Amino acid sequence: MHMRVFIESAVLLFVLLNPFLLCIYLLDLIQELNVRRFGRVLMRASVISGVVFVAFAWAGDAIFSRVLQVRFCAFQIFGGIVFLVIAIRFVMVGSRAISSLRGSAQHLAGSIAMPFMIGPATVSASVLAGTRLPMALAALAVAAALSATVLTVLVLKALHDLVRARDERLVERYVEIVGRISALVIGTIAIEMVLQGIDSWLVTRG
């Protein structure tokens, strides 16, 4: 029973982390950094995210209600607004918009972890894992999902570098088009996050 729930929890978190979409967010880093440095940055971001996910798996909604004294719906709405801003800038400017939002290179790992990896959906999945599994298995599910995400992104980075070496202009044009199209999807998801937060708020008031 635990094994089935463990697999479901790890797969759900992996799907929500969405390494393919994460590559779109990290396009400028994928293009600028070599595999080794990019891997180090991504690993640090995954460690930061893992600590946050395990904390939410252990404490659940109590972190919001008791520690932060806010409602989870507020986190959903704010997270949706952040992703909406990112999506709009990506559509208008392209991948350069992400680097301007992310800030200086000294803090890459933290800025990748939040908001690109740590968001309302992934936090909710962590809380769910904590409620359905013993703490050790919940933490292992988080670790498995993050490891699979990092490995997938690194493979995609390696493929990008291989293809780009052969036809750089074609790859850059393709990546820019796909990035802008993906930003439209991201913006739609962001609006849905805001609406879900509003729905949750209305339920608590009703």
- Does the pLDDT of residue 38 top 70, yes or no? yes
- Does the pLDDT of residue 167 top 70, yes or no? no
> For the chain, what is the mean pLDDT?
79
- Does the pLDDT of residue 147 top 90, yes or no? yes
Distance CA 43, CA 22 (A): 14
Confidence grade of residue 50 (pLDDT, cut at 50, 70, 90): very high
